[in-house]
Amino acid sequence: MYKRYAFIFLVLAFAVGLIVVVSEVEGKQKRQIPVVASVEVKQDIVKTGDSIPLTITVSNGLSSSIYHSTFSLTPNDWNGETCNVSLVDIYRDDKADNLYLVRPKMDVPMTVSGMGGREIKPGGKIEIQTDARKWKLWGGWLPGRYRVTVEIHNLKVDEYSTLSILTDPVEFEIK
């Protein structure tokens, strides 16, 4: 009889312990810093050879302004908008191999004196427009289903701190 109660007690203790562990793991996955980046692709299906327009939004949930250093927020012929932006994870057809090869080269004109810090006020946001095709992949941008994660680098928080943040993956298909 006591063995039965001991067994029931052990099963209940294990179940309670499992619930506590799972809730702690889920709690650790919440954002610790309220600066969030997201990425959207304009079309879920892109024709082979067409541009892949991305809109990257950086939202500031801090109580003070932050700054994104860049040459441009919109695409230009010398890739100024790609400064401090990276497509860090690029997967095709759910295969485990990351296809990322080379980031876009920036050919800054001699008439541009340097980057500017784009202010993102508390509660505010900025949008960065770019074309995913500017990044080179192993094998190129072939037909298939893609999953892409973007990273924004060097967001200046204050004189002592910078952030780099990742977006959730965005998916699209090239046909």
pLDDT tens-digit map of 126-172? 999 999 999 999 999 999 999 999 999 999 999 999 999 999 999 99
Class of domain 35-174: mainly beta
Please report which confidence band the pLDDT of residue 31 belongs to, taking 50, 70 and 90 as the band edges: confident
What percent of the chain shows pLDDT beyond 90?
78
Which comes out higher in pLDDT, residue 143 or 19? 143
Closest CA to 70 of 130, 135, 133, 134: 130
Please report which confidence band the pLDDT of residue 30 belongs to, taking 50, 70 and 90 as the band edges: confident
Its pTM stands at 0.81
CA angle 43, 37, 82 (to 5 degrees): 70
Q: Torsion angle, CA of 130/73/77/137, rounded to 10 degrees?
A: -30
Q: Give me the mean pLDDT over the 91-108 stretch.
A: 93
pLDDT value at position 103? 94
pLDDT value at position 3? 65
pLDDT value at position 93? 96
User: 3-state DSSP helix/strand/coil percent for the chain, to nearest 5?
Assistant: 20, 40, 40
